[in-house]
Amino acid sequence: MPAAKEEAVVSMTKAAEEAVTHFSSTDISVSVDGTWQRRGFSSKNGVVTVLTNLGKHQANKVIDTDIRTTYCHTCPQKNRDNVKLSTITEDHCCAVNHQESAGKMEADGAVACFKRSKAKYGVQYTKYLGDGDSKAFTNVNRTQIYDKPIVKEECTGHVQKRMGKAIMNAVAEHKSEKFIVDANGQQLKKKVANPSRGEKCYSGIGGVNRLTKKAIMSIQGH
């Protein structure tokens, strides 16, 4: 384990140096994301990872990690009727370093990584690339860690994903509704169509000549 930690420190320090060279500055761009041992924000363990954000075709590498846990394997042993066990657990180093909800692990871990960037590598993470659906950036920005603002960058992949999901939800929501349109395809505020005027009645907003899967994918691509 010590050897692995030492190698990790060497690797992450090198990654920080590469980022400084790439940006020609100690103000660098990073990507931040959190993951949990279990889904649904009920996990006792979580990890926040910070990577260098050098660009799409560059070798982006891990620059820092922060592990959060609300559970210690040794603490519960204190109450057991075992003299030897009690002696071992009396002065142990408790693993718990997070007291709040599992959902807040990402936000707290991100702040911790940003706060030690100067001491660790002599850099500032002034550009933040996140998935857009977490409170981590808001928490980091509110803390005012540096003497300059942190700029939020959007991940196009996550924007595409959210866009597609929102459109699919809209299609499902309006599935049973009736829409009347004129010959030019403009929606009319009436409940009965007049075919002689070229008016048509549609059920929902999905289907042929409307929001098909192919059309939604095209919108996502743009």
Using the structure block, give the residue that is written with the tokens 């007291």: 99
Q: Alpha-carbon distance 134 to 128, whole Å?
A: 12
pLDDT band at 90 (very low <50, low <70, confident <90, very high): low
For 132-177, the pLDDT digits (tens) are 666 889 899 899 999 999 998 877 777 788 888 899 999 888 888 8
Rounded to two decimals, what is the model's pTM?
0.70
Contact 64, 117 (CB under 8 A): yes
Phi-psi region of 209 (alpha: psi -120 to 50; beta: other; left: phi over 0): left
Q: Alpha-carbon distance 96 to 87, whole Å?
A: 20
Cα dist from 132 to 74, 149, 158, whole Å: 37, 18, 7
pLDDT at position 80: 64
